[in-house]
Amino acid sequence: MLNIALFGPPGAGKGTQSKMLIEKYNLAYISTGDILRGEIAEGTELGLQAKDIIKRGGLVPDEIIVQIMEERIQTDTEVNGFLFDGFPRTTVQAYILEGLLLKMNTKLDCMLSLEVPTDQLRNRLLDRAKKENRSDDTEEVISVRLKEYDTKTAPVANFYKEKEIYHGIDGLGGIDQIFERLTSVVDQTLQKSWINLVLLGPPGSGKGTQGRKLAEQFNLEYISTGHLMRQEIKKDTEMGQSAKTYMEKGDIVPDEIAIRLIERQIRKHPDANGFIFKGFPRTIVQAYILDGLLRKLGSVVTSSINLDVSTLESIKRLTYRGKTEGKRLYDDTDIIIHRLEQFEKRSIKVSNYYSKQDKFEIVNGLGSEEDVFKRLTDVVNKSFKKIR
Residues acting as catalytic residues: 14, 89, 128, 134, 145
Binding residue numbers for AMP: 32, 37, 58-60, 86-89, 93, 134, 145, 225, 230, 279-282, 286, 339
Q: Where are the alpha helices (DSSP H) in the chain?
A: 14-25, 32-42, 45-55, 62-75, 91-103, 118-131, 139-162, 175-192, 207-218, 225-235, 238-247, 255-267, 284-296, 311-321, 333-356, 369-387
Distance between CA 343 and CA 153 in Å, rounded?
A: 51
Sign of CA dihedral 94, 96, 97, 101: positive
3-state secondary structure (DSSP) of residue 268: coil
Distance between CA 106 and CA 298 in Å, rounded?
A: 10
Distance between CA 197 and CA 333 in Å, rounded?
A: 30
Binding residue numbers: 11-16, 32, 37, 58-60, 86-89, 93, 128, 134, 145, 173, 204-209, 225, 230, 279-282, 286, 321, 339, 367
| Size of the chain in residues | 388
3-state secondary structure (DSSP) of residue 130: helix
Q: Which of 114, 265, 272, 80 is nearest to 191 (CA)?
A: 272
Across 41-68, b (16+ Cβ under 10 Å) vs e yields eeeeebbebbbeeeeeeeebeeebbbeb
Binding residue numbers for ATP: 11-16, 128, 173, 204-209, 321, 367
Q: Which of 196, 193, 37 is nearest to 109 (CA)?
A: 193
Residue 237, phi then psi, degrees to nearest 5:
-80, 170
